[in-house]
Structure 1
Amino acid sequence: MYRKEIDDYFEAHRDELFEDIKRLVEIPSVRGEAEPGMPFGEGPAKALALALSMAEGYGFAAKNHENYVGTADLNGKETKLGILAHLDVVGEGTGWTVCEPFHPVFKDGKLYGRGVSDDKGPAVAALYAMRAVRELGIPLQYNVRLILGTDEESGSSDIAYYFRKEAPPPMVFTPDSDFPVINTEKGRLNGAFRASWPKDGALPRIVSIQGGYRLNVVPPEAEALTEGLSIDEARSCCARAEAETGAKFTLEETPQGVRIFAHGAGAHASTPEKGNNAVTALIHALLLMPFAPSTGLERLRTVNAMFPHGDGLGRAAGIAAADEVSGELTANFSLFHFGEEGLEGEFDSRTPLCADGVALIRGMQRKFAGAGMEIGAKSVMEPHHTPPDSPLIRALLAAYEEFTGCKGECLSTGGGTYVHGIPGGVACGCVMPGIDTNMHGADEFSIAEDLVTSAKIFARAIVSLCG
């Protein structure tokens, strides 16, 4: 029902859809310092203003909720379905080759730019699904509300603020993950560790290490300053580390000493195997170098013992866990600072249904007791699971099968979305099976045809659930 009408509609409006995505991607909506009336800074507020202007232009009732979130209602009836998307993005990162992060381009059937996949492209696909249903005149008994957030990448305080004032709709999905349907989201354990020691000037030594810029991103870059070490000694050890880690190293001789830069590959923290952690690679390289014995160096060896390069499953840290529904625990060493009198670091672990985050941290504390390291949990989030036979899941899978010809199924993810903790909530789209869009990394992209197909799937689901 309505298959041909929906196909014809998007054939006529596909170019408009892409242009609207590009307009949003051009706004650098990375969270910034709060300003009056803009709780997450100017960038997210500007992206929200543009998106709501688009929604109003397509005939929807749009509302800005204090620049935390924006909403667009398809009609004035009782709301049955909510679609949650976000307009904020992670930072640019490095290593872009196809385009500048906020200057989107089309190339070989793909749209490149920061946010085309996570989550501006999917947000516009959902908006166009609502637009298609409205402009095709398909009768609905219920309303659909598109809810656009601006702080998903930094903790989702935006959506928490909104749902303190408004109850979630009876059915909710977010187009911020993969197809067919994600009904299980792992829990999240954000852990931290630190150590301190008296300053020690024995040479050669490590003066500083710095790496990572966001907790939920595999760090693509890291750097260290060494003193009393020749550049030839450092270069020889870095060459060995390149072969052992796959990272690249560049060196610079300065008046302060040899500065070493590690170049890895960014990725989402929930899929550390898709990136190459520059922090762990740099530590690996440094521990090959002939530094003088010191307490700081011993503490660095402990850090390396907790998070050796290539261990994205938390095995060395003693927190590995797995079950058949949600898969294996993942662990990403995200942020690190090492100085002359101490170090501190943070890691982002995605935990399966069988795991208890508090118990994991306690086990880690026991394993590294006596190593001079303070270890604790900064936050613990329980896993989220929706039974696969819910009406929402059945409708989404049926729409997916209709427009792709592929078998639908429920999957698990380590990525947390807006529906985490919302009873019955699931994630659906917009990444097709087997595609890696470089989300959170360089050259983030979406396949243009997949965005169009996503919009068709969402339009069909709207008709099924609200018609």
Structure 2
Amino acid sequence: MYEEQISAYFDDPARQRELVDAVCRLVSIRSVAEAPLPGKPFGEGPAMVLEEALALCGEMGFATGNCDGYVGTADLNGLPTQLHILGHLDVVGEGKGWDSDPYAPIEKDGLLIGRGVADDKGPMVAALFAMKAVRDLDIPLRYNVRAILGTDEESGSSDIAYYFARNPYAPYTFSPDADFPVINIEKGHYHPDFGMRWAHSNALPRVTAMTGGFRTNVVPPEAQAALAGLTVGDVEPLLAAVSAETGAAFTVEEREGGVTVLAMGRNAHASTPDEGCNAITALLALLSRLPLADCGSTGAVGALHALFPHGDNAGRALGIAQSDGLSGALTLNFAILSLDETGFTGKFDVRYPICADENNCKKVCEASFAKHGIAVTGDGEMAPGPHHTSADSPFVRTLLDCYVRYTGDTDAKPLAIGGGTYVHDIPGGVAFGCQMPGFDPKMHGANERIPVADLVTSCKIFAQAIAELCG
């Protein structure tokens, strides 16, 4: 039921224009997390976009609420709440490489381009338009739908923890912040801090500093090292071979007493490290080939290269590679490294399958570290663990059916992913859209994009889901 009415509603070009304009309205606000301010727990940008989103919801006729600046809410009606649609308004930093202003969204060749059009402002606006469609079409409902608009998904989801510490879960929750057809399994997370110390040395040549990475959940696109006692002529002959092997680009510049080496890789989400080119591991591959003196930093470079060889995104060298038929393979991203004259600290991001546990993952990793004198220095717990909502549940089956109705994809099956979404800690929750199979939205990278046609189809799917779950 309702497919004809819902399709006709969203096939209206004027309504599609309203949809795009609403997305652009939110994308134009740079909502990257910053230092907290009074009443603005994640800084000015997230607070501004939350205020604008709630204004949009009010204009659409929804009853709105603001939970202390952490999240906003928009209710479709005053009935008991059956469904939460949970999305976020914060974004990752813009980074480099954009062909246009990331906060002045544009349409080109059927694509909407800008930071947040796919992650997650565009999908959240699609959900709001779906709620409005159900009301405008007078589809009878027995329950309420509440949209929950978060502002801290990219930096730890403390906003949602704050909200649900004060409010109950709904019987059903989906987050339009991932892939269609429906994601019912999310791998567990393991991201310890680790490091080692050594005595200062004046031996030459040596690495005096190295830095790389800026966020745990991003494959590091850049890394830099300072070396003492070497010249450009010592390093340049190695660059072509290492670049060919790693896919990274290198530049070397003279500095007082030595050189600086910059590695340029390619960022990607930590849950899909094979899609990126890790600049940290590429630079370690280069440094390990240089004729460095026997000292602490040289030992550290050798140990890190051995434990994290470039391209080993499965944790084979650490001894933790594993997979299962339900949730897939473990993935690893060496995310952050800071090395100086007397030590280093690092952090990796592992997304582990259901079959992994402390014995075959955490303890094995720590033993591999110990062989090289490296110790876990921070929180080394495997948390949060995997999230699994049964593919046979009525909720998952209903969402999958709604997707099939508007796409014709009769081969669609629930998915398992490495990325953690807002529903990771919500009982029975799933991720549902808006990325269509086979499309690359350039998530967390330059020129983030989403097809306008996919946003429109998502609106239809979400409206149908509301009608099925709350009607």
The one-letter amino acid of 1:393's match is V
Matched with 1:459 is 463
Q: Specify the code of the residue in structure 2 equivalent to 1:402.
A: R
- State whether residues 266 and 442 of structure 1, in contact with CA within 8 Å, keep that contact through their aligned partners in structure 2: no
Q: Deviations over 1:7-39 (max 9, x none)?
A: 222122111111111121111111100111111
- The answer as to whether partners of 1:216 and 1:270 remain within 8 angstroms in 2 is yes
Match of 1:392 in 2: 395
Q: Distance in 1 between matches of 2:335 and 2:101?
A: 24
Q: Which residue of 2 aligns with 1:255?
A: 256
1:149 and 1:43 mapped to 2: Cα distance?
13
Which residue number corresponds to residue 222 of structure 2? 221
Count of residues in correspondence between the two structures? 466
SS in structure 2 at match of 1:30? coil
Higher mean displacement: 227-236 or 56-65: 227-236
Q: How does 1:215-294 map to 2 (within 5 A)?
A: 215-255=216-256, 257-294=258-295
Cα distance in 1 for partners of 2:60, 2:252 equals 54
Structure 2 equivalent of residue 79 of structure 1: 81
Give the letter for the 2:11 counterpart. Answer: E
After superposition, where does 1:432-451 map in structure 2 within 5 Å?
432-451=436-455
Structure 2: distance between partners of 1:420 and 1:124 = 21
Which runs of 5 or more structure 2 residues have no equivalent in the other structure? none
Aligned counterparts of 1:256 and 1:78: Cα–Cα separation in 2:
70
Moved more, 373-382 or 457-466: 373-382
Structure 2 counterpart of 1:251, one-letter code: V
- CA 1:19–1:170 in 2, change beyond 3 Å: closer, same or farther? same
Q: Give, in whole Å, the separation in 2 of the partners of 1:257 and 1:448.
A: 51
- The one-letter code matched in structure 2 to 1:107 is K
Instruction: Name the CA distance, whole Å, in 2 between partners of 1:256 and 1:175.
Output: 53
Offset at residue 252 of structure 1 (A): 2.1
When residues 150 and 264 of structure 1 are mapped into structure 2, their CA distance, relative to the original with a 3 A threshold, is: same
Q: Which runs of 4+ in 1 moved over 4 A?
A: none
Quote the offset at 1:169 in angstroms.
0.6
The 2-side partners of 1:108 and 1:253 are apart by 44
Aligned equivalents of 2:131, 2:258: Cα separation in 1: 59
Map 1:143-158 → 2, pairs under 5 A: 143-158=144-159
In the alignment, the residues of structure 2 paired with residue 100 and residue 337 of structure 1 have an alpha-carbon distance, to the nearest angstrom, of 31
Which of residues 390, 405, 409 is equivalent to 2:408?
A: 405
Instruction: Please tell me the residue identity of whatever aligns with 1:431.
Output: Q
- 1:257-336 alignment to 2 at 5 Å? 257-336=258-337
Q: Distance in 1 between matches of 2:362 and 2:141?
A: 50
Matches within 5 A, 1:332-343: 332-343=333-344
Asked if structure 2 preserves the Cα contact closer than 8 Å seen for 1:246 and 1:276, the reply is yes
Aligned to 1:382: 385
CA contact (8 A) 1:29 1:89 kept: yes
Once residues 321 and 162 of structure 1 are traced to their aligned partners in structure 2, the CA distance between those partners, rounded to angstroms, is 35
After TM superposition, give the deviation of residue 203 of structure 1 in Å: 1.5
Of 31-40 and 17-26, more deviation after overlay is shown by 17-26
- What secondary structure sits across from 2:346 in the alignment? strand
Q: CA deviation at 1:100?
A: 2.7
* SS of alignment partner, residue 334 of structure 1: strand
Alpha carbons 1:361, 1:375 under 8 Å: kept: no
Contact 1:227 1:256 in 2 (8 A): yes
Matched, 1:93 2:111: no
> CA deviation digits over 1:275-306, x for unaligned, max 9?
11111111111112222221211111111111
Unaligned stretches of 5+ residues in structure 1: none
Task: Specify the SS of the correspondent of 1:364.
Answer: helix
AA partner of residue 420 (structure 1): H
2:45 counterpart residue number: 43
What is the letter of the counterpart of residue 8 of structure 2? D
Q: Deviations over 1:146-201 (max 9, x none)?
A: 00111111111100000000011110000111110101110111122101111111
The two structures have a TM-score, normalised by structure 2, of: 0.96
Q: How many percent identity over aligned positions?
A: 53
Q: 1:384, 1:364 → 2: CA distance? A: 22
Per mean C-alpha deviation after superposition, the further-off stretch among 141-150 and 219-228 is 219-228
Counting only pairs closer than 5 Å after superposition, residues 100-179 of structure 1 correspond to structure 2 as 100-179=101-180
1:373 and 1:10 map into 2 onto residues whose CA distance is 57
Structure 1 Cα separation of the partners of residues 285 and 113 of structure 2: 33
AA aligned to 1:123 is: M
**How has the CA–CA distance of structure 1 residues 19 and 257 changed in structure 2, closer, same or farther, with 3 Å as cutoff?**
farther
Contact 2:179–2:433 (CA<8 Å) still a contact in 1? yes
Amino acid at match of 1:389: D
Which residue in 2 is equivalent to 1:3? Answer: 3
226-235 or 330-339: bigger deviation = 226-235
Matched, 1:428 2:432: yes
Q: In structure 1, give the amino acid aligned to 2:361.
A: L
The 2-side partners of 1:48 and 1:359 are apart by 42
Distance in 2 (CA, whole Å) between partners of 1:317 and 1:114 is: 35
Cα distance in 1, alignment partners of residues 309 and 113 from structure 2: 33
